[in-house]
Amino acid sequence: MTLSVFARSVLSKILGSIGIPEKVLRNRSGNGFVILMYHRVISLGDEKIPIQPGMYVDPKTFEEHIRYLKQHFLVIRFSEKFSPGCTGGRTHSTRPVCILTFDDGWRDFYDYAYPILKRNRVPATVFLPTGYIGTEKSFWPDRLAWLLTSTISPTRQEIEGIRPENSTLERIASLTGSLEKRLETAINMLKNFNDKEIEEVISRLKERAGVDLIPGGRVFLNWEEIREMVGSGLISFGSHTQNHRILVHLEEAEIREELVLSKETLFREGAVDPSFIPFCYPNGNWNDRIACIVRETGYHAAVSTGNGWNTNGASPFDLKRVAIHQDMTASREMFGCRIAEIL
């Protein structure tokens, strides 16, 4: 049974008051390491389009997370764990090892997360979809979110005119409930399709809604911001492919192109150290063959969306993470329970 957010909040407060998460974390010391997965750090109201609950934390919440991590963890750079010659985070510290990662290279990382990390001298790694950096492009889930605020239900004639292979359009346009719920359902439906099929559905929704796809403006980092953060010595970068395409839907030649173009761009823009270039599987989708291609194209480690801690001997190309987002980690106690995998 899945606990509600309210139930998690109450239980975590009780457990936190008697120090249970911290006891669990102390027992983890030396027995593995945890990689945290963030996406956006932004206050609701600052966003131009609706954001999924699992995609953000509030800046105040994030600052509380960093305070907690500094108190209970040894937070290290990604490269410290896997670069040749590094200690892998092994020290005489009694605290468990933690690595911070951020997916997608959102502009709000520079605006909100980076100042907090810099002020606290805490390192992090950001995975960049290099073809989006410095542009006004948008991911298809964000275009979908914008369209769902305007899309009307299909008419009988439209439903009858939809080809069987595009019946997903009918189901998405007919979803009911809150925008948040409809968006989550629609995104999960479309993740099973390839790029062309997704774009066809979005195009048809755009025609029905009669609106522009998304408000203008840059939502991703640019290369100047990235080079500034590299210069801080705290923020590292890795690849999230060139175009954020889900790799399991691609042919091998397309996968290699996504990986090679992204790595070349990172090199050209001075965003990475050639001695350690990490990778992040878009949407967490991968298989053994994709992992081999990632290694063959010159990457040194790869993270997925598989949940949990990693053993010290874990394969560097199948690294799990613990997803961190506002609704599950809004308090210090909830955050501790989330990382300790209690709730």
Q: What average pLDDT does this structure show over 288-297?
A: 98
pLDDT at 92: 56
Question: Which one-letter DSSP state was computed for residue 17?
Answer: H
The whole-angstrom separation of Cα 269 and Cα 228 is: 12
Tokens read off for 192: 């099973």
pLDDT at 100: 98
**Architecture field, domain 5-136+218-339:** Alpha-Beta Barrel (3.20)
Q: Range with the lowest mean pLDDT among 117-121, 194-198, 300-304, 325-329?
A: 194-198
75 neighbors 69 (Cβ within 8 angstroms): yes
Give Cβ neighbours of residue 27 (< 8 Å, ≥ 6 apart).
none
The whole-angstrom separation of Cα 245 and Cα 212 is: 23
The whole-angstrom separation of Cα 132 and Cα 56 is: 19
Q: Given a cut of 60, is residue 85 above it in pLDDT?
A: no
Query: pLDDT band at residue 162, thresholds of 50, 70 and 90?
Result: very low
Q: Given a cut of 70, is residue 153 above it in pLDDT?
A: no
| Domain residue limits, the chain | 5-136+218-339, 140-209
The whole-angstrom separation of Cα 263 and Cα 257 is: 10
pLDDT at 6: 87
**pLDDT higher at 219 or 48:** 219
| pLDDT, tens digit (0-9, with 9 covering 90-100), for 4-51 | 888 889 999 999 999 999 999 999 888 899 999 999 999 887 777 778
pLDDT at 261: 98
The whole-angstrom separation of Cα 222 and Cα 140 is: 20
| pLDDT, tens digit (0-9, with 9 covering 90-100), for 90-101 | 555 679 999 999
